[in-house]
Amino acid sequence: MTLLRLSTRQFRRGWKSGEYTVMAAALALALAAVSAVGFFTARVRTAVAEQSGESLAADLVLESAEPIPEKLGDEARAAGALTASVLDFPTVLVKGQATQLVDVHAVSAGYPLRGRVRISPQAFGASRPADGIPARGTLWAEPRVLGALGLRVGDTVNVGDLPMRIAAAIGYLPDGGFGFTALEPKLVMGETDLPATGLVGANARVEFKLLVAGSPDTIDALDRRWHDTLKSIRVQDARDGRPEIVNAIERSQRFLALAALVSALISAVAVVLAARRYAARYTDTAAVLKCLGLTRRRVQTVLLLELLWLGLSAGIAGVLIGYAAQYGLVAVLKDLLPSQLPPAPLTPAVAALGMGLILLLGFALPPLMRLGDTPPARVLRRDLEPPKAKGFAVYGAAVAAGFGITLWQVHTLELAVSVLLGLGLTVLLLGVGAVLMLRLLKGLHRGGAGWRYGLANLNRHRRDAIIQMVAFGIGLMVLLLLALVRTDLLHSWRTSLPDDAPNEFIINIQPDERATVTKFFIDHGVRSPTLYPFVRARLSAIEGKPVAGLHFQDEGGRRMAEREQNLSWSYDLPAANTIVSGRWWDPAQAKQALASLEEGFAANLGVKVGDTLDFDVAGTPLKVTVASIRKVRWDSFQPNFFVDLSPGALEAHAGTWITSVYLPPEKMPILADLIRQLPSLTLFDVDAIMQQVRQLMDEASLAVEYVFLFTLGAGVVVLLAAVQSTRDERRFEAAVLRAIGASRRRLRAAAAAEYAALGFASGFLGALAATLVAWALAVRIFNLPYVPDWRVWVSGVLAGTAIVAFSGMMATRSVLKTPPVETLREG
């Protein structure tokens, strides 16, 4: 109890005197970043878990590109379950000269089996639960559809060949998805109206779903039975939690967690600097405690308890800041999230506090523990010092703590090692750059006395200057990459494409419509498009071994093997393709059953040239031999396929056709005429889709930038810690200079020169690192021409100079205000 009271008394004294200010600020900032990301992702994950059944509109869903056998529905109903059916397919709505790609949700009576559709009499109006499904001849449409076509509730629009009245605007659709899973706006219609539309014919691109709901025992029994027996139908239950959504959440969490991790690690540097200064100032107190009879272990216990009080107080403050900050993330990412998020659980707060204790124990405790060996004689002889901490103890604890919190944040050992190696390399490169910048600044002797003294101060505190440059350089580098370089890379990609790169894809072209489509574009002055055939199929075996029994290296390979495949055939190698292994077929070989695979597809399946693949094409078996592996330029905007077959392989299989065309803006209205003439066609406006994707990417990038603002804050705290660690030395130097005639104005000018130069160097290094990373991404990864952006350099240098200069001047203000007499008397 005595030690407990002593530690609390010492903690209150240290807090009042400002000893703990920087350490607490660094810790609070680190935990604010970590807990903000934790609260945010926990809320989203909880929402998905709570709505998992509702997000499927059922307890169990069977999905297939072919009609689902009626016997499966009969089997479910015989087991006591409820059923409903859904057909999903894309089509184009036309209003005047405007067109809009939509996803049609054709539903049967009873839909949805879980959750409720909410509808409104006007777009974005107050919604109410829907009673049943749309009546015959009517539909419900999402507000995006109404806005794009200038429609209102009550208007009539053609869906294929059938005029339908818009009965309501959709406020909420249980299985509508969100974010990247709901790019195409939806409309809901009754399944009984489908035949009159003429949109669902042979080889149409339709996803058939059977929805099943019932008691948990019934669903479990059906799930087990169907998972074992249905090979060409995907079975999904509520416990899957919409894997595409969960995967998107996991990826976004990792990005945000990495941003928070960088803030935490930079804050750890400030913790180390502040702890060393505190250890230096606590030495006399430790000597007094030893004189009063406290043993080495008890002195260390007092220090450990003080760190505990510091960790709890700063940690709670950081968690509260993080809780408030996560609302900013929700606001930034509102278009990527479910409409309603539950309250944040307490788990992220507990995890953040635990991480805070790890930070203190790993980075602050080692410098303080040596104070237990302070000789009591120091109260008489100030030159006596406690033995220095062993390097292994100090650096080993820091490395262990750094690795621990990294693994905690990213969850996988491989990624944790990669992150630390990448961060270590970045620190090394920026450190070398900082040393070179200090040498360069050292040679700048011209200027006033304040300028020369400020630059000399940088080199006198070389270690602290390098640490600050690296900390600020990392923060500025990442923000510049996200804010400017990302936009430059997207622009470079767009400008690298030909001016006439296709901007419209047309699918579902029936064999008897090919001539009509070609003639339509020629009649309207558009270059005749090339049409490509394709059929839907499922991969059933590789080298004669059934896919269901094969082991793949990762889940991506499994998903690739089990998904519906689009097979095409061609006599000639497509323009955007390059053979990397094997050979393309000649005219004689074209009559054989051969295949050419995209390299990523082949790698995921573990397939090489010479292997055989078995496909199921609408119930007809097809065996082909892999003749070549291709590299595909997917950004060519030409129709490309994972699997290209020789013409002889698909002679007996009927399919549909696909094409892509370039239409200048003035010819876009002709698409409305094409849809009126051939309503079964489906058009994809590449520019519109890219605009939506770009908007969502901008929001995601803005969220990462938001979290990286904590990194800049961590850099400021490192600056404050460095200033505080040299505070006594700076006060003494300022007092001596004032005593020999230097004015306070000149000292302020020297401090301004020091921190402006430090900020300039940090900004320069951040811009240089961002430029190098951008060049590597453009040239080495994306094969794009890279043109340096002057805005990166101007923004980096100006931001670095302004932030560091302002922060440094605020930190040293009290040093310059201290009267020289007071400082010299203390010395």
The tens digit of pLDDT for each residue in 513-569 reads 889 999 999 998 888 888 888 888 888 889 888 887 777 776 667 777 777 788 888
Say how far apart CA 693 and CA 697 lie, in whole Å.
6
Averaged confidence pLDDT in the chain = 80
Q: Are residues 12 and 87 in the same domain?
A: no
Chain center to CA of 239 = 24
Asked whether residue 475 is assigned to any structural domain, the reply reads yes
SS3 57: coil
Cα separations in angstroms, 559 against 393, 538, 785, 814: 47, 12, 34, 63
- Exposure on the CB side of residue 154, measured as CA atoms within 13 A: 3
- Evaluate whether residue 417 is within a structural domain: no
CA distance 86 to 358: 52
**Alpha carbon of residue 155 to chain centroid:** 40
User: Which of 191, 216, 239 is the last residue before a domain boundary?
Assistant: 239
Q: What would the mean pLDDT of 226-255 be, rounded to a whole number? A: 67
pLDDT of residue 193: 93
Residue reference for tokens 């800041």? 321
Helix (H) or strand (E) holding 138: strand 138-141
CB 642 within 8 A of CB 609: no
pLDDT in tens, 295-307: 778 877 888 888 8
* Residue 697 and residue 561 in one domain: no
Does residue 180 register a pLDDT over 50? Answer: no
* pLDDT above 50 (res 769): yes
Can you tell me which residue has the tokens 């009626």? 70
Distance CA 50, CA 344 (A): 13
Helices marked H in 443-554 — which ranges? 449-460, 462-480, 486-496, 514-523
Match 């900004």 to its residue by tokens.
763
- Span 719-727, average pLDDT: 68
* Contact of 68 with 373, CB cutoff 8 Å: no
Q: Are 41 and 256 in contact (CB under 8 A)?
A: yes
416 within some domain: no
576 by Cβ neighbours in 10 Å (0-12 / 13-18 / 19+) ranks as middle
pLDDT band for 657, please (50, 70, 90 cuts).
confident
Q: Which residue has the higher pLDDT, 508 or 718?
A: 508
Residue 130 pLDDT greater than 60, yes or no: yes
What residues have CB less than 8 Å from 96, skipping those under 6 apart? 150, 672
CA distance 750 to 738: 13
Q: Which residue has the higher pLDDT, 716 or 309?
A: 309
Residue 293's Cα: distance from chain center in Å? Answer: 56
- Same domain? 112 vs 228: yes
In a domain, 511, yes or no: no
Per-residue pLDDT, 133: 93
pLDDT value for 576: 80
- Regarding whether 441 and 389 lie in a shared domain, the answer is no
Asked if 389 and 370 touch (Cβ cutoff 8 Å), the reply is: yes
Q: Say how many domains are in the chain.
A: 4
Entry pTM: 0.68
3-state SS class at 473: helix
Q: What is the pLDDT of residue 726?
A: 63
Q: What is d(CA 655, CA 202) in angstroms, rounded to the nearest whole number?
A: 8
More confident site: 178 or 518: 518
Q: Does 517 map to a domain?
A: no
Q: What is the DSSP letter of 443?
A: T
C-alpha to C-alpha distance for 547 and 562, rounded to whole angstroms: 8
Q: How confident is the model at residue 115 (pLDDT cuts 50, 70, 90)?
A: confident
Q: Which amino acid is at 98?
A: A
At residue 818, the pLDDT reads 64
Residue 785 lies in a domain: yes
Do 740 and 629 belong together in one domain?
no
Q: Based on the domain organization, do 347 and 449 belong to the same domain?
A: no
Q: Are 235 and 248 contained in the same domain?
A: no
| pLDDT of 245 | 56
| Per-residue confidence (pLDDT) for residue 450, from 0 to 100 | 62
- What angle, 0 to 180 degrees and rounded to 10, lies between the N-to-C axes of helices 21-50 and 243-291? 150
Give residue 595's pLDDT: 92
pLDDT value at position 582? Answer: 92
One domain for residues 89 and 233: yes
How many CA atoms are closer than 13 Å to the CA of 207, on its beta-carbon side?
15
- Which backbone phi and psi does 438 adopt, to 5 degrees? -65, -40
Residue 693: pLDDT band by 50, 70, 90 thresholds? low
Amino acid 50: pLDDT: 61
Distance of CA 10 to the CA centre of its chain: 44
Rounded distance, CA 393 to CA 362, Å? Answer: 10
Instruction: Report how far Cα 354 is from the mean position of its chain's Cα atoms.
Output: 25
Q: For the chain, give me the number of helices (H) and strands (E)? A: 24, 22
Write out the two tokens for 784: 């794009």
| Distance between CA atoms of residues 109 and 111, nearest Å | 6
Q: Is the pLDDT of residue 571 over 80?
A: yes
Q: Does residue 651 sit in the same domain as residue 691?
A: no
**Residues 149 and 260 grouped into a single domain:** no
Domain end call among 181, 212, 239: 239
Q: What is the pLDDT of residues 450-466, one digit of tens each?
A: 677 767 777 777 777 88
State the CB neighbour count (10 A cutoff) for residue 70.
10
- pLDDT at 179 exceeding the cut of 60: no
* Structural domain ending residue among the three candidates 189, 210, 239: 239
Domain that holds residue 112: 58-239
pLDDT at 443 over 80: no
Share of the chain above pLDDT 70, in %: 81
384 and 438, same domain (yes or no): no
Please state, in angstroms and rounded to a whole number, the distance separating the CA atoms of residues 329 and 707: 8
pLDDT confidence tier of residue 801, bands split at 50, 70 and 90: confident
Banded pLDDT at 104 (limits 50, 70, 90): very high
Q: Tokens 């859904």, residue?
A: 86
Element (H, E) at 95: strand 82-95
Distance of CA 42 to the CA centre of its chain: 15
In a domain, 822, yes or no: yes
pLDDT, mean of residues 354-362:
81
How far, in Å, CA of 725 to CA of 464, rounded? 9
E strands of 361-511, at which residues?
A: 504-509
Which pLDDT belongs to residue 825?
59
Give the angle 230-232-236 at the CA atoms, nearest 5°.
Answer: 65
681 vs 784, which has greater pLDDT? Answer: 681
Any domain includes 520: no
Residue 570: in which H helix or E strand, if any? none
Torsion sign (Cα): 275, 277, 279, 281 = negative
pLDDT tens sequence across 469-489: 888 788 788 778 777 666 776
Mean per-residue pLDDT for 628-641?
Answer: 83
Is the pLDDT score of 181 beyond 50?
no
d(CA 168, CA 139): 7
User: Nearest Cα to 723, choosing from 806, 819, 827, 800?
Assistant: 806
Does residue 525 contact residue 667 with C-beta atoms inside 8 Å? yes
Residue 581's pLDDT is what?
Answer: 92
Same structural domain, 181 and 233: yes
| pLDDT value at residue 694 | 67
User: Per-residue confidence at 410, pLDDT binned at 50, 70, 90?
Assistant: confident
